[in-house]
Structure 1
Amino acid sequence: MGQRRTRRRTAAAGALLALLMLAGCGSGSGSDQAATSEAGGAPGPALAENDAAGEPAQGGAGTATDTRVDQRAIVYTGSLEVKVDDVEAAARDAVAAATRAGGFVGGDQRRSAAADAVAELQLRVPADRFYPVVEELARLGSQQRRQIDTQDVTEETIDLDARITSQRARVDSARRLLAQASSIGDLITLENELARREADLASLEAKKRRLADLTALSTITVTLIGPDASTAQEEGQLGFLVGLSGGWKVFLASMTVLFTVLGAILPWVLVFGVPLGLFWWWHRRRRNRSTEPALGAAPPPGLAAAPGAVSAAPPVPEARSAP
């Protein structure tokens, strides 16, 4: 019995030792494979896929859409109001600033007056020079107001590109069908359809050019006012003096319009009105003279008395008594 127990213990110890040896070999093999992979051996599945795609391995989700500003279509619009000492000199400097930036003048309205000079310029400058030109214009004098608006038209531009591509394909299809027309009726129908599709394509292309112009050239409206001119904030105030000043300006403007109308009418009055008035006065006076009877003259014989006039009775002869 003792020998059997000893044999069983020996066999169990041997089996346990064999299991420990197998476990050690397995862990060593896994460590060797990991070391081989890190040391530059065969790449793992993720690296193999990235190498096959020609891109480096990145964690997380896929690559996001490019949202950089230079890849988007943005329309910039700005307006400035600047008070300057010399409106004409500041207007020349503003035009020069736009020209140096590669732009041009889109509109120019000026009111030259000794105490109330104003110049309103509409400048078109490249989009990448928009903010530098705005800052340069603000330094021409004392900035009173600034407003900058932006409009992202990227989606509209992409939609227009897709619609233009589709419409061009439709035009090409209509042209192929027109070349294969075999009857006069089909020819007329296809020509009308082709003309309609070409008109739609031209409209889409015009919209695309308009968007391209707005995105390529930004618009800056700068208002240059003299030192004595009232600003927009002052015009928005209330009070007796403000109302009196506004009423006086309206009165002067109304009188200007009235005198302008009178000046336009006066030549017509002198050329046609005066002769017609003299003729009418002469004709009326002549008619009155012809209708008035001569004073103290007896009416001609046989002339009937005027209606309602009392006719004088003939004198009755006196009765004579018989002798």
Structure 2
Amino acid sequence: MTKDRASRRGSAAVAALVALLVLAGCGSGRGGDDSGAAGTAADAVAPAQEGAAAAPGEVAAPGKAQAGAGAATDTRVDQRAIIYTGSIRVKVDDVETAARDAVAAATRAGGFVGGDQRRSADADAVAELQLRVPADRFYAVVEDLAGLGRQERREIDTQDVTEETIDLDARITSQRARVESARRLLAQATSISDLVSVENELARREADLASLEAKKRRLGDLTALSTITVTLVGPDASTADEENQIGFMVGLSGGWKVFLASMTVLFTVLGAVLPWLLVFGVPLGALWWLSRRRRRSRPVEPALVAPAGTPPPPGVSAPPPVPGARSAP
């Protein structure tokens, strides 16, 4: 009898755990805060099932840790997570040589080349390089790139992601605790339905944890390695200021370019239509010419004209006399 009661109590406890897991999964779709609260409530059941009573303060530990981390944020510049991005345009005498020097500057700083696009046309050559360099060497590499020639443009942007990094760390810690709690519940499942429900909840929590860790790795990559986009142009390459000029010669040049483009389109269309004209237009034109020639070669029948003064046939009234006309003798 005592064993039956104990088994019944164990089944009831497992059923209550599964119900709490279902409620936690439903509440997680309403936002990050609700998900954390539901997960904390579900996670608090595992120690109780094992016989260890958890204090209310211990249940809210992840939330307190997150709040404490936000309050104790270090405001020193060297301890903050900052993303540096910059772009620079430099006019050089030899684009290929300058591009090799730019790559060498990034390599010496401990970085690498993330992208390389070049258009070689002698003095009108253009090379666009995307360099990834360590954050502490960002400004030094920018100055090295500016010294390759005559700097035309420089843009530097910074983004402070310290608070976002701290928030991600706290969410990852809390999510790992929820995954471990779900794994303990999975080991205690006694029925197929309970096993399936706990496995689904564990898979969802592990997917959320993997997503948070991927965001953390991406953020760490952006803060550790800064991005510099350098554009190297030849001495004859047009600049943005030259393209925005106005005047008669600029308008004439633009009109001539538009005219050439229009003629190109016209000849393209003509070339596409010409085969159809040769296949269908020539036979149709020949048929039209032959039919017209045949109509012209037919003899014209003379019209029957009654001589003057001939009376009209019976039943036909004579036309009225024309005023001023002389009658026939």
Q: Are residue 106 (structure 1) and residue 114 (structure 2) matched?
A: yes
C-alpha change, 1:65 and 1:216, in structure 2 (3 Å) is closer
Shift of 1:239: 2.9
Tell me, in whole angstroms, the C-alpha distance in 1 between the residues paired with 2:253 and 2:153: 26
Tell me, in whole angstroms, the C-alpha distance in 1 between the residues paired with 2:296 and 2:153: 84
Identity %: 68
C-alpha change, 1:125 and 1:253, in structure 2 (3 Å) is farther
Q: For 2:101, give the aligned amino acid.
A: D
Residue correspondences, number: 233
Match of 1:229 among 215, 234, 237: 237
CA deviation map 1:96-152 (0-9, x unaligned): 111222211112222333453222211111112111111111100111222222212
C-alpha change, 1:182 and 1:149, in structure 2 (3 Å) is same
Tell me, in whole angstroms, the C-alpha distance in 1 between the residues paired with 2:111 and 2:177: 37
* Structure 2 residue ranges without an equivalent (≥5): 1-71, 305-329
* Structure 1 residue ranges without an equivalent (≥5): 1-63, 298-311, 313-323
Tell me, in whole angstroms, the C-alpha distance in 2 between the residues paired with 1:283 and 1:189: 78
C-alpha change, 1:163 and 1:66, in structure 2 (3 Å) is closer
Shift of 1:287: 9.6
Q: TM-score, normalised by structure 1?
A: 0.59
SS state of the match for residue 239, structure 1?
coil
Query: For residue 219 of structure 1, what is the aligned residue in structure 2?
Result: 227
Shift of 1:215: 0.8
C-alpha change, 1:276 and 1:190, in structure 2 (3 Å) is farther
Q: For 1:245, give the aligned amino acid.
A: V
Q: Are residue 245 (structure 1) and residue 250 (structure 2) matched?
A: yes
Query: For residue 104 of structure 2, what is the aligned residue in structure 1?
Result: 96
Query: For residue 117 of structure 1, what is the aligned residue in structure 2?
Result: 125
Query: For residue 95 of structure 2, what is the aligned residue in structure 1?
Result: 87
Query: For residue 205 of structure 1, what is the aligned residue in structure 2?
Result: 213
SS state of the match for residue 147, structure 1?
strand
C-alpha change, 1:285 and 1:233, in structure 2 (3 Å) is closer
Q: For 1:73, give the aligned amino acid.
A: A
Give the structure with the larger helix fraction.
Answer: 2
Match of 2:171 among 144, 158, 163: 163
Tell me, in whole angstroms, the C-alpha distance in 1 between the residues paired with 2:192 and 2:255: 68
| Correspondence 1:238-317 to 2 at 5 A | 238-240=245-247, 244-245=249-250, 248=253, 252=257, 259=264, 269=272, 274=275, 277-278=278-279, 281-282=282-283
SS state of the match for residue 179, structure 1?
helix
SS state of the match for residue 195, structure 1?
helix
Shift of 1:191: 2.6
Q: For 1:103, give the aligned amino acid.
A: G
C-alpha change, 1:257 and 1:69, in structure 2 (3 Å) is farther
SS state of the match for residue 237, structure 2?
coil
Tell me, in whole angstroms, the C-alpha distance in 2 between the residues paired with 1:235 and 1:276: 43
Q: For 2:214, give the aligned amino acid.
A: A
Larger radius of gyration between Structure 1 and Structure 2: 1
Match of 1:154 among 135, 159, 162: 162
C-alpha change, 1:235 and 1:286, in structure 2 (3 Å) is closer
Aligned partners of 2:74 and 2:80 also within 8 Å: no
Shift of 1:170: 1.3
